[in-house]
Chains A and B, each alone.
Chain A
Amino acid sequence: MLESKREMPVYLDNNATTAVRPEVLAAMTPYFLDGYGNASSIHWFGQQAKAAIDDARREVSALIGAEPSEIVFLSGGTEADNLAIAGIVESQKPKGRHIVTSRIEHPAVLNTCKHLEKQGFDVTFLPVDADGLLTADAVQRAIRSDTILISIMHANNEIGTIQPVDEIGRVARDAGVCFHSDGVQAAGKIPVDVRALGVDLYSLSSHKIHGPKGVGALFVGKGTPLTPLVRGGGHERNRRAGTENVAGIVGFGCAARLAREDLADAMLRTGELRDRMEARLQAEIPDLRINARNAPRLPNTSNIMVDYAEGEGMVISLDLKGIAVSTGSACSSGSMEPSHVLTAIGKTPGEGFGSLRISLSVLTTDDEVDRLVETLPGIVERLRQLSPHYRK
C-alpha cells in the first residue's frame, strides 16, 4: 500500500521517472477494462487491441521521425539497449569483435558491453571532456576494421550533456558500422529525427515522458541486421516475442503524442525555469558549481556540486521537507561509489560527494522550483557548519 502523500510534495527527479499524465491514464484504462484482447487474436477483442497498438506505433514513430514499421515495442529503455547491442553483436560477430561506446553511458549499455567483453569482444570506452562531451573525431579514430557497433547515448541522464549524435552518425555511415544511440533521456525533451541523426537503432522509454513504466521501444532502421533476444511467437515482426503490453503501449503512444505537441513549449519553459533556478541557487549558495554548463544540455536537467556537504545528506534533508531530487554519488558498503559520469568528467570522489541532480518536467511548477531554491541553501549551510573542514 502507498503511504499517504506528504502535503504539497515537490518532485524534481524527472530524469528518474515522471508522473503519468491524466490524459495518458485515461487513454490506457479502456484497454484494461474493455479492449483487453490479445492483439494476435482475430476476434473483435483482439482487433481492438491490434488497432490501438498500430495507433501508438504511429505516435511513437512520429516523435522521432521514423516509419511505424521501424518501431519495436518492448519492456523499456534497458531492454531496448540490451536488444540493440546484443542483437547487432549476435548478427555481426562473423564480421568482427569490436564495439565503440563511451564512459558515460547508462548502466544498461555499459554493463551489456562489459558482459560482451567477458565473452571475448573488444570494447573501447571513449573518454569525454570536462563537460561530458565526446567528439565525432574521437569516435572515428576508435573505429577499426573489425568494429561492428558504435553505441553513444544522445543525452546523459545525470548531467544532461547532449552528444553530437548527427556527426557521429555520419562517421558511422562512412565507416559502414551500425550505430545505436540511447535516446531515453532525449526523446520528448529535445527534437529527435532519426534520419538527421543517422542512427540505425535508437532506444526509447515511456516513463521518462509521462507514460507508464514497463514499456519502451527500439527504433530499428530498415535493413538493420538485428537478431532478436526474446524468442517465441512472431510479435513485433519477429523482433521481440511476447504478448504485447497493450495498455502500456497505448499509454506510451499517448505520452509520445503529448510530448511531440508540447515539445517547443516544454523546452522553453523547463529551460527558463532551470536557468532561473541555477542562477538563484548560485546567488544563494557560495561556491556552487554547475556541471556540464558549457556543453549543449537537456533543458530540464541541472547537476550541481557543493563542497563540504554530502549528496545523500542533502537528498535526505530535502526529502524530509517534501522535496525529491537525487544525487550522483552515495557511499555504501564502506566504499564511496562516485558516479561513473562525474568520474568521467574529471571530478574526484570528494567533489562527487556533494552532487545533486535536479530534473524538471513539463508538469513542474514555478512553486516547486521556488520551494527548492528557498530550502536548499539552509540545508547546505547546516551541513557545512557540521563539517570539520569548513572554515567560513
Chain B
Amino acid sequence: MTYSDKLLDYFENPRCVGELEDADATAEVHNPVCGDTLKLWVRVADGKVADARFKAQGCPAAIATSSFATEMLIGQDLDSARRITREQIADALGGLPASKIHCSVLASDAIRAALDGLR
C-alpha cells in the first residue's frame, strides 16, 4: 500500500485544522467499523462557504482526505459544495489505495451532513 506524496503532505502538514467558534454548521461523522472520526465546522456568508475547519482521528488517508476536503470547501457556493464527491477528493490526492476508499467517503459525507444542517 503506497500513498502519493501529496497525500503524505496533507497528512504531515494538514491544512485547515481546528474549530470554528462562529460556525453556522458542524457535523461529526464516524465510521463505526474502522473507527475513523471526522468533525467539520463550516461558516457561511453570502451563499458561500466562508470558512471551514476540521479535526480527525484515523489513518493517514482519513486525515489527508479530511484536510483536503475542508480546504476545497472554502470559497465554494453551497450547491457546488454539496456536489463534492469522494472521487474528486481521492483523485486530487493522487488516488487512494483500494482499501482506503472509505476514508474519502467520510469526508464527502461530512460535507453533506454539515451543509444539510444549515437548512
Using a CB–CB distance below 8 Å, which chain A residues touch chain B? 308-310, 312-313, 316-317, 320, 330-336, 349-350, 353, 383, 385-390
Contact = CB atoms under 8 A, between A and B. Distances in A.
A349 B35 contact: yes
B87 interface: no
Given A320-B8, A334-B34, 14 more contacts: A310-B35, A317-B11, A317-B12, A320-B12, A331-B35, A331-B59, A331-B99, A353-B35, A386-B14, A386-B57, A386-B63, A387-B55, A388-B57, A389-B57
Contact of B33 (A309, A310, A334): A334
Given A316-B11, A387-B55, A332 B99 contact: yes
21 contacts: A310-B35, A310-B62, A312-B60, A313-B60, A317-B11, A320-B12, A331-B35, A331-B100, A333-B98, A334-B33, A334-B102, A336-B34, A336-B35, A349-B35, A350-B35, A353-B35, A385-B17, A386-B14, A386-B63, A388-B28, A388-B38
Nearest to A319: B8
B31 A334 contact: yes
Q: Which of A316, A331, A336, A350 has the largest count of B CB atoms less than 10 A from its CB? A: A331
Contacts of B24: none
Interface of B: 1, 3, 8, 11-12, 14, 17, 28, 31, 33-39, 55-60, 62-63, 98-102
Given A332-B99, A336-B35, A312 B59 contact: yes
Given A316-B3, A386-B14, A310 B37 contact: no
Contacts of B11: 313, 316-317
A333 B59 CA distance: 13
Contacts of A332: 1, 99-100
Contacts, number: 73
Nearest to A331: B34
A388 B37 contact: yes
Nearest to A335: B33
Contacts of B31: 334
B8 A316 contact: yes
Contacts of B17: 385-386
Main DSSP-derived SS at the A contact region:
mixed
Contacts of B59: 310, 312-313, 330-331
A46 B36 CA distance: 58
A313 B37 contact: no
A176 B63 CA distance: 55
- Select the residue from A383, A387, A388 with max chain B CB neighbours within 10 A: A388
Contacts of B99: 331-334
Contacts of A334: 31, 33-34, 99, 101-102
Nearest to B98: A333
- 9 closest A-B pairs by CB: A332-B99, A331-B34, A334-B102, A387-B57, A388-B39, A388-B55, A336-B34, A312-B59, A333-B99
A310 B100 contact: no
Nearest to B59: A312
Nearest to A338: B35
Nearest to B57: A387
A317 B60 CA distance: 9
Given A331-B36, A334-B31, A334-B34, A388 B102 contact: no
B37 A389 contact: yes
Contacts of B1: 332
Contacts of A312: 59-60
A347 to B, nearest CB: 13
Contacts of B58: 310, 313, 331
A336 B33 contact: yes
A289 B62 CA distance: 25
